[in-house]
Amino acid sequence: MSEELKNGICLLNDSFPPAIDGVANAVKNYARVINNGLGEAVVVTPEWPGYDDSVFDYPVIRYPSMDTRKMMGYVTGMPMTPRILRQLQEHPVRVLHAHCPTVSLILARELREVLNVPIVFTYHTKFDIDIRRALKGKLIQDSVIKAMVENISACDEVWVVSEGAGENLRSLGYKGDYIVMENGVDIPRGRVSEEKIRETVAGYDLPEGVPVFLFVGRMLWYLSLIHI
């Protein structure tokens, strides 16, 4: 593994251990797969008071948070601080991969302006349902959903974990392209052998629909595209 591939991917999500859900689990698995001989990942996520991130074998950068567990089940916050940018600049980030269309994607867009790297966004689930559950008032809900779609539309590439998720995104007003990731161990045929797939995913708790190998393949494509 050449040095220039190391620390190439910044994974951003609004939930991460000790809070855990399907998306947080996906991010954790991405980081493990990337670090398993494919490069290095750095995770950016909200602070969780008292949690020891030394349990991870990759950097986890936490930004200031507030407790929104009663509304959303996890903590969230305002991430763009000089400290976060300073810490990220210690890693040669080549791709930003966001997994939440609100805070994490806002941060990814701000970081892109400074780091000059592409953003991949994965639409995991029907976020509009979460928004309508967490926020009261249709006007506020609709405004947040509109901002969410604007964030997603600004990404360099959009992935959805199922055709149903893509249809949901379209129903919210998204008009751009997206790629459907059909399962967690799929990439274009012939790029990776079945034996290599089985070897790499052995022991991983992979939720259905997580495009681990497509992500790794796309990561390497981006690296070649930007001449790294």
Parse the chain into domains and list their residue ranges.
3-225
**Positive or negative torsion for Cα 59, 61, 67, 70:** negative
**Per-residue confidence (pLDDT) for residue 85, from 0 to 100:** 79
C-alpha count within 13 angstroms, C-beta hemisphere, residue 98: 27
CATH class of 3-225: alpha beta
Model pTM score = 0.79
**Per-residue confidence (pLDDT) for residue 193, from 0 to 100:** 66
Please check whether residue 217 is in contact with residue 211, taking contact to mean a CB–CB distance below 8 angstroms. Answer: no
Query: What's the 3-state SS for 155-172?
Result: CCEEEECCHHHHHHHHHC
**What does pLDDT average to in each consecutive run of 10 residues of the chain (228 residues)?**
57 87 82 75 87 92 70 56 79 88 89 90 82 78 88 93 88 92 52 64 62 61 53
**Per-residue confidence (pLDDT) for residue 212, from 0 to 100:** 62
Phi-psi region of 81 (alpha: psi -120 to 50; beta: other; left: phi over 0): beta
What pairs with residue 12 in β-bridges? Answer: 44, 98
**Per-residue confidence (pLDDT) for residue 216, from 0 to 100:** 62
33 CB burial (10 A radius; 0-12, 13-18, 19+): buried
